[in-house]
Structure 1
């Protein structure tokens, strides 16, 4: 089985190249194939891995243009493997996640203060799915908004904001909404790429739509709708 891997390092000349590697046909996962290459073919190949069971999210890469967890993806002959989009590449398939982590801070994706409020079973159901986020950044990599707006908060920061906004223990809900107005909910194109690639089955598109609805309840307006008036259309 032949795999094509996009190698990258600033010291390379040129810095990026698509290299081909033969791996055994019985490799059950892409991560297994990458480890075979590193141990048997090319020790300089660099990639991230952790739990090897789809829990930590550290092995996320793009395969044939789609985000996948290397520990869960079954490789096929001719697959093209490359690093995630919109994040600085450290080397080969290993990227710097710091910008994504910073977006969580900007989105205030946490409980604002300690609360004695109890979360009942219904409340748990409201935040259960979003709490499964493993921060693999697959949704971030798939988002077309970053092509034109690098300061966009990104899908996982927004869906995590929603998770805490609807938490019964959160007493500063308006503060949560205010954190995602700029470079956030109104910039999302609702294309659904993030939902499609999430390995945990989370639906960021739906969560962002809910945030938009909640923002309207707090008196905020989608600036894109407001701009329609400038055309002077009269129906």
Structure 2
């Protein structure tokens, strides 16, 4: 079975694809290990738990973000590193921005409350707490491609996790941090939701953060962005404006 892997070496600034014949037909991760041990020990990739928990083996398979350890190999699969970040070597990318976006989104506990937490309270943030930081959502995000300051799906999902956490006594700093280059910049395309291996729904999380922001007095910038893109032909009061044409 043939597999094509995008390569990048220090001596070669350009990316290129290299094809290998592999016998292992279970997971792509097993195939990568076979390539490294039997064909080219210089192949670089990340892996950890090999069970879909750590998220370190995130790659793109035929243009779609996947976990190598959970994805079955098919003939002529094209393997590439995740997008929107610097490729260090082959399938290994720089993940330094993880800490930056979490800090910029204030996605952590600000002030501990004295409220008693129930099992139902825990369920409110259970899904968002399952993020494994695999970066698949960042790689699939079209906004991050054009705006490197965009906080991105997983940081915003993490922000909602703390905004809804009953242990958080003051969610205001987090809501404040996600107004610019955050929830209003998202196009709600849903790519992040589609590729998430943990079945988290960042798109819905961002919509919930928009609602909570408006409820807390922040401006709804989604309509401003919508109306600012083109002239609708109507005045501010809903009447037709012939001068717009």
TM-score where L is the length of structure 1: 0.95
- Equivalent of 1:220, from 209, 218, 221? 218
Give the Cα–Cα distance (whole angstroms) in 2 for the partners of residues 31 and 186 of structure 1: 37
Give the Cα–Cα distance (whole angstroms) in 1 for the partners of residues 99 and 74 of structure 2: 32
* 2:243 match: none
* 2:43 match: 45
* 1:7 match: 7
State the 1:60 CA deviation. 0.2
State the 1:224 CA deviation. 4.3
* 1:155 match: 153
State the 1:102 CA deviation. 1.1
- State which drifts further: 115-124 or 67-76: 115-124
- State which drifts further: 180-189 or 3-12: 3-12
State the 1:118 CA deviation. 2.4
Aligned length: 233
State the 1:7 CA deviation. 0.4
- Map 1:78-227; keep pairs closer than 5 Å: 78-226=76-224
Q: Which runs of 4+ in 1 moved over 4 A?
A: 229-232
* 2:59 match: 61
Give the Cα–Cα distance (whole angstroms) in 1 for the partners of residues 217 and 133 of structure 2: 31
**Secondary structure in 1 matching 2:11:** coil
State the 1:113 CA deviation. 2.8
- Provide Cα deviations, 1:32-78, integer angstroms capped at 9, x if missing partner: 00000000000000000000000000000000000000000001001
**Secondary structure in 2 matching 1:3:** strand
> Gaps spanning 5+ residues in structure 1: where?
none
Backbone CA RMSD of aligned residues: 1.5
State the 1:150 CA deviation. 1.1
For residues 224 and 202 of structure 1, do their structure 2 counterparts lie closer, same or farther at Cα, with a shift above 3 Å needed? Answer: closer
Give the Cα–Cα distance (whole angstroms) in 1 for the partners of residues 147 and 29 of structure 2: 32
> Gaps spanning 5+ residues in structure 2: where?
240-245
State the 1:171 CA deviation. 1.2
Give the Cα–Cα distance (whole angstroms) in 2 for the partners of residues 11 and 119 of structure 1: 55
State the 1:115 CA deviation. 3.4
- Provide Cα deviations, 1:117-161, integer angstroms capped at 9, x if missing partner: 222121111000111100000001000001211110000000000
- State which drifts further: 87-96 or 223-232: 223-232
